[in-house]
Amino acid sequence: MSESPLLKLDQATIQFGGLIAVNNVSFELNKGDLFGLIGPNGAGKTTCFNIITGVYKPTSGKIFFRGRDISGVPSNKIAQEGICRTFQNIRLFQALSVLENVVVGGFLRHKTGLFSGLTLLPNAIKETDHLREEAMKLLEVVNLSHVANHRSADLPYGMQRRLEIARAMATQPDLLLLDEPAAGMNPQEKDELKEVVYRIRDEFDKTVLLIEHDMKFVMGLCERIFVLDRGLEIAHGPPEDIRSNPKVIEAYLGEPV
């Protein structure tokens, strides 16, 4: 028997009033996977991220991370467990600089106490410098080190998306959830993003679960894809199978890709 999957959704369901946004969804992610979650608008993809990261508690069903039940654990604890995410509608700390945004992510693993910070003791200074250095390294990975001191709200759209990835990476997660990371990017930016995602998986040893609308992008990048429609699973498998699956074509793709 191999080790347990990194992430496992077991019949996860969430209901908002009369609407079942995610309906009996089950899938597993193993360490090192590059996993795609696709489906038409309103299918429940972002809601899946929200129940995995503790924004909402599933109405029924369970979510396991490294074999441990994490359904309903609050967001900040989930981040400590090693799952971090980006947001479809970018949520940067707008007034903070690009570098500071990433340091917030890194601060999750801080060791000095608040008292050291309030009195600016040497250990707090040292830790701050260290976190800034680490953040700077991540900014290089996503190609943003040249704008490290700019206000994050002033960055163009594509850069803001990459900054969100760097910020999430700073929490040192094992599982990274990317919600439409390529939305609003031009083809060249998308190619660069693809490289970044590969690096994150191969160099940094992360597992990546991503939501994306651009089929070319997902099909080219992900090794396994899960298709959701109106909260329900309609297909699950490698890109080749998904591409030719009649149900997927009917519900989502419209025509074969």
Partner 1 sequence: MGKFWTVRIASVVAALAGCFIFQTVATNLGNDYYLRLFLLAGLYVTLSVSLNLINGITGQFSIGHAAFYMIGAYTAGILTRAYYEQQPLLPELWLVIMMLAGGLFAALAGLLVGLPSLRLKGDYLAIVTLGFGEIIRIVATNQQSVGGSYGFSFGPKVVAPWMVCLLAIITIAICRNLLKSAHGLPFLAVREDEIAASAMGVNVTKTKVAAFVLGSALAGAAGAILALNEGYLNPDIFKMDVSFLILTMVVLGGTGSITGSALAAIFLFLTIEIPRNIQTADGQKVQITLASLLMAGLAIAIAISLLRKIKDHFHGPPNQRLIRNLGVIGGSIAGAIVLSMILNATTVMGDKTFEFDKLRMVILSIMLLVVMLLRPQGVLAHHEFSWDFVKRLFRKDHDDKAEVAS
Ligand X SMILES: Nc1ncnc2c1ncn2[C@@H]1O[C@H](COP(=O)(O)OP(=O)(O)O)[C@@H](O)[C@H]1O
Please compute, for residue 102, the number of CA atoms within 13 A of its CA located in the half-sphere on the CB side: 31
Please choose, out of 16-24, 109-117, 156-164, 245-253, the segment that lies near ligand X by the rule CB under 6 A.
16-24
Four-CA torsion 102, 108, 109, 110, nearest 10 degrees? 90
Euclidean distance between CA atoms 177 and 35, whole angstroms? 10
Cβ atoms 235, 40 nearer than 8 A: no
Taking residues 47 to 86 in sequence order and writing x for each that binds ligand X by CB under 6 A, - otherwise, the string is: x---------------------------------------
CB atoms within 10 A of CB 160: 21
Token pair, residue 15, equals 């209901």
Q: Cβ closer to partner 1: 60 or 153?
A: 153
Nearer to ligand X, 16 or 93 (CB): 16
- 47 touching Mg ion, by CB under 5 A: no
C-alpha–C-alpha distance, residues 168 and 163, integer Å: 9
Query: Which of ligand X, Mg ion, partner 1, none is residue 120 near (CB under 5 to 8 Å by kind)?
Result: partner 1
**158 Cβ neighbours under 8 A, 6+ residues apart:** 184, 185, 186, 189
User: Could you tell which of partner 1, Mg ion, ligand X, none binds residue 245, using a CB distance below 5 to 8 A set by kind?
Assistant: none
Contacts of 131 (CB under 8 A, 6+ apart): 103, 106, 107, 110
Binding of residue 171 to ligand X (CB under 6 A): no
CA–CA–CA angle 243, 210, 165 (5° rounding): 145
Q: 79 contacts which partner out of ligand X, partner 1, Mg ion, none, CB within 5 to 8 A by kind?
A: partner 1
Please list every residue from 157 through 216 that binds partner 1, using CB under 8 A.
167-168, 170-171
Kindly write out the interface string for residues 85-124 of this chain, putting x where it contacts partner 1 by CB under 8 A and - elsewhere: x-x---xxxxxx---x--xxxxxx-x-x-x-xxxxx-x-x
> What is the full DSSP assignment across 83-124?
EEE--SS----TTSBHHHHHHHHHHTT--S-HHHHHTT-HHH
- Long-range CB contacts (< 8 A, 24+ apart) of 242-246? 242/38, 243/219
Q: Could you say which of 2, 3, 18, 41 contacts ligand X (CB under 6 A)?
A: 41
Least CB distance from residue 45 to ligand X, whole Å? 3
- Contact residue for ligand X among 21, 170, 209, 218 (CB under 6 A): 21
Q: Which residues are at the interface with ligand X (CB under 6 A)?
A: 16, 19, 21, 39, 41-47
Q: Which residues bind partner 1 (CB under 8 A)?
A: 53, 55, 74-76, 78-80, 84-85, 87, 91-96, 100, 103-108, 110, 112, 114, 116-120, 122, 124-125, 127-128, 131-132, 146, 167-168, 170-171
